[in-house]
Chain A
């Protein structure tokens, strides 16, 4: 059973702080990793993806991947109340189009 795990939260951070969201996965063959944001009552939207070990930055967001540890994280700098949402980690295997989603971490940014 391929699994993706996330702390369900809620994770509360003050406005302006760095929010750190973590995700672990079980399938060592996984090759692509994605972060989605889902606001309450809305569908998920893609924030960013990462394939290679290391960091990938996009604006206030930084994805970090460590394949040896089977760990991927998302950092949100200068957190804003509008960042309050559930963040979903998704992992794609080496073949096919099978995406496995984690349960999501609920982030609350306090003004």
Chain B
């Protein structure tokens, strides 16, 4: 079953409004979570690395004031797209790093954002 849950799966918002996406690790604690954006038929693009209890590390070219990341607990990270515009419409995916067998990352189901 899923070990990382992402919500909402689909969201439509009006231009200029803000949208929050949640990412939860279900049965493990994740000190590190990652946020990606993916446009249709394109590769995953890492936006930022979210560390519990500290500021997120953003990739070059990603506006930290526009994409607010909060990792307030060991099982929850949120991404808020502020003042959304149609060009922000994309598939947003989170992942969480799980220590133990594999020491790997597991992905959430993804969130489709459409800004109208």
Contact = CB atoms under 8 A, between A and B. Distances in A.
Interface of A: 32, 34, 36, 41-46, 49, 88, 90, 92, 97-99, 101, 103-104
Contact of A43 (B32, B43, B108): B108
A90 B102 CA distance: 13
28 contacts: A32-B102, A32-B104, A34-B102, A36-B107, A42-B110, A43-B6, A43-B93, A43-B107, A43-B108, A43-B109, A44-B93, A45-B107, A46-B102, A46-B106, A46-B107, A49-B104, A88-B44, A92-B103, A92-B104, A97-B32, A97-B49, A97-B105, A98-B49, A99-B34, A99-B105, A103-B43, A104-B43, A104-B44
Main DSSP-derived SS at the B contact region? strand
A45 B102 CA distance: 14
A14 to B, nearest CB: 24
Contacts of B110: 42-43
A32 B103 contact: yes
B97 A97 contact: yes
Interface residues of B, number: 19
Interface in B30-74: 32, 34, 43-44, 46, 49
Contacts of A88: 44
Contacts of B91: 41
